[in-house]
Amino acid sequence: MLVAELCRKHVVSKASYYLRRSRFGGVSVSDAKQFNELETEDTRLKSC
């Protein structure tokens, strides 16, 4: 399946797809989830 088809199916822009791929390309799913949780917590702590 082509990237354009996947992006259309999941309503994601190709730019967003390539940004996330560059950021999380070689990372396992559990590591990506942990990274996302840490970023969320960091944002929450900075806003306090």
Task: Give the number of other CB atoms < 10 A from CB of residue 45.
Answer: 8
Evaluated on CA atoms 29, 31, 34, 35, the torsion sign reads negative
Q: What is the pLDDT of residues 1-48, one digit of tens each?
A: 899 999 999 999 999 999 988 888 888 889 888 988 999 999 999 987
- pLDDT of the residue at 29: 86
pLDDT for the residue numbered 48: 76
CA neighbor of 7 nearest in space, from 40, 19, 24, 27: 19
Task: Give yes or no for a contact between 27 and 35, defined as CB atoms under 8 angstroms apart.
Answer: yes
Produce one character per residue of 1-30: b if its CB has 16 or more CB atoms within 10 Å, e if not: eeeeeebeeeeeeeeeeeeeeeeeeeeeee
